[in-house]
Amino acid sequence: MSEIEQPQIYLITPPEFELSDFPTRLAGVLDSHEIACVRLALSTRDEDRLLRAGDALREVCHARDVAIVIDSHILLVERLGLDGVHLTDGARSLRKTRKELGDDAIVGAFCGSSRHDGMSAAESGADYVAFGPVGKTPLFDGTVAEYDLFEWWSQMIEVPVVAEGALSVDLIRQLSPVTDFFGIGQEIWASDAPEKILADLKAAFA
Name the residue ranges covered by the structural domains of the chain. Answer: 8-202
DSSP 88-104: SSTTTTHHHHHHHH-TT
- Phi/psi of residue 128, nearest 5 degrees: -155, 160
Cα 205 to Cα 202: distance, rounded to the nearest angstrom: 6
Q: How confident is the model at residue 1 (pLDDT cuts 50, 70, 90)?
A: very low
Mean pLDDT of 84-107: 96
As a whole number of angstroms, the distance between CA 88 and CA 164 comes to 13
What is the phi-psi region of residue 52: left when phi exceeds 0, alpha when psi lies from -120 to 50, beta otherwise? Answer: alpha
Please state, in angstroms and as integers, the Cα–Cα distance from residue 160 to each residue in 6, 29, 95, 121, 155, following that order: 13, 23, 18, 11, 11
- The DSSP secondary structure of 147-189, one letter per residue, reads HHHHHHHHHH--S-EEEESS--HHHHHHHGGG-SEEEESHHHH
- Does the pLDDT at position 203 exceed 70? yes
Closest CA to 3 of 169, 167, 180, 140: 180
Q: What is the pLDDT of residue 4?
A: 52
Indicate whether this model's pTM tops 0.75.
yes
Q: Could you tell me where the beta strands, DSSP code E, fall in 81-155? A: 84-87, 106-110, 128-131
Q: Per-residue confidence at 2, pLDDT binned at 50, 70, 90?
A: very low
Per DSSP, 5 falls in state P
Say whether pLDDT at 141 is over 90: no
Q: In this predicted model, what pLDDT tens digit does every residue of 150-171 receive, in sequence order?
A: 999 999 999 999 999 999 999 9
CA 118 to chain centre: 15
What does the alpha-carbon distance between residue 24 and residue 179 come to, in Å, rounded to a whole number? 29
- CATH class for domain 8-202? alpha beta
pLDDT at residue 106 tops 70: yes
